[in-house]
Amino acid sequence: MIDELLAQGLITPLWKKDGIEVFKNIEPHHRIEIMSELPNILPTYYWGIYDAAYEHFGTYISNPDINVHATYPYRKLLNSKDRLNNSLNTFKHLLIQNDMYIDAATIYASNARSANVQLMTDSNGKKFVRITSDDVEKNGVLIDLPYLSQSTAYVVSINTKNVNGIPLRLCVFSFYSNLCHLYDETTRSETVVQDSFIVPPYVEAQGYSLRIDNVSFGSKPAVNDIYDIQVTPIPFDELNSMYYGTDKPLQQQITKVGFKGYFNNTLYAVETTTEQLGNQQNELILWRSYNKDWIAFSTNNLRVFSAHHPVNNWANGWTIELNDFKAGEPLRIIIVFWPQLLQYAGYVLLILALIVAIVMPKYRSKAS
């Protein structure tokens, strides 16, 4: 996709270092647009690696109250904590059946030289590795996986228990980039709990290392137990791109509209005409992070656009019904983030209070 944008002259490189590239968008971006014939894609999701729906369909909306064009059943692989949303059993039939199981004995054997790492057995006879750190100390375990291909995605599942202090921190370290392709923290729980993390596919390289750190701050020791680790390859691209529904992207029409921003761009005045809009479904789009507190209404008839939904899973969109307006008439719309206006209302009240505080003593002295 980057090569295509460069070839079309839409972006230009700005900076490159250590495999990281930054590009500048040459084509000016319109913060507010009206688009018609947008596909309706569901469900929405909290976190993702890349948006396969946008790649296939282009700009889309996510409105559960109208007909759906396509549904991506595995869009919500990650939950709000950036963890695997469902258990592996949900799509077990799609997994590559050569997962790697690392038990406590194997973890300990690779880290037996550390005095702070112990192999122990719980009351149920199950072995676990206990890591102890105190007095601003960092210890942990290291597990090298030199034969794992980085072009494949993996689910790293780890069963741990937080006995005291800060939970464990997991780094999936790349031998190729010398960076953590995944850095996260296990769940703080006094009982054994499983955390599942997704490591997305990267370049055609090889070799990872699991670096699990036990960190203490101050005088409070950190004690954590590891029971086992499982590394499972998954067909990430296939899961992310799988959908059912229409297979033909709609012919989208874009209408550039005039607008002005006020109050630090928390209020926009938009103006267009009904003749400029498409004949079918029209979406007013504000290319700012989606928030339910953005409100759009028409000053023509003081009608609030109630159908507010995400666009491309991150921006704001409202459905415009042309039947509510006269043909050819100017269409004036106000978009406002109403909580921000409370701040300015507070400023007004403060100024009024100061005026009253200054004027009232003078008024009383004259009256007396």
Q: Interior CA angle at 271 toward 265 and 272, to 5°?
A: 140
Residues facing 118 on adjacent strands: 130
- List the structure tokens of 92: 């077990």
Decide if 197 contacts 83 (C-beta within 8 A).
yes
Decide if 256 contacts 30 (C-beta within 8 A).
yes
- pLDDT given at position 42: 95
Average pLDDT, the chain: 87
Ramachandran category for residue 354: left, alpha or beta (phi over 0 → left; psi -120 to 50 → alpha):
alpha
Least confident piece of the model among 114-123, 239-248, 251-260, 302-311: 251-260
Decide if 215 contacts 138 (C-beta within 8 A).
yes
- pLDDT given at position 132: 95
State the Cα–Cα distance between residues 344 and 336, nearest whole angstrom.
Answer: 13
State the Cα–Cα distance between residues 115 and 47, nearest whole angstrom.
Answer: 39
Distance in angstroms between the alpha carbons of the first and the last residue of the chain:
79
Which one-letter amino acid corresponds to residue 275? E
Q: List, for residues 290-342, the tens digit of each pLDDT value.
A: 999 999 999 988 889 989 999 999 999 999 887 777 777 888 999 999 998 78
Among residues of the chain, what percentage have pLDDT more than 90?
A: 51
* Res 172 pLDDT > 80: yes
Q: List, for residues 342-358, the tens digit of each pLDDT value.
A: 887 888 888 888 888 88
166: which DSSP letter? S
Q: List, for residues 65-117, the tens digit of each pLDDT value.
A: 999 999 998 888 777 777 777 555 566 566 655 679 999 999 999 998 888 99
43: preceding bond cis by omega (within 30 degrees): yes
pLDDT band for position 366 (50/70/90)? low
Cα–Cα nearest to 286, from 61, 42, 85: 61
Cα–Cα nearest to 148, from 159, 160, 140, 156: 156
306: which DSSP letter? -
Decide if 105 contacts 232 (C-beta within 8 A).
no
Q: Interior CA angle at 315 toward 303 and 61, to 5°?
A: 75
pLDDT band for position 64 (50/70/90)? very high
In the chain, what are the domains?
A: 1-30 (no CATH), 31-72+249-368 (no CATH), 88-240 (2.60.120.260)
- pLDDT given at position 118: 95
Residues facing 36 on adjacent strands: 253, 282
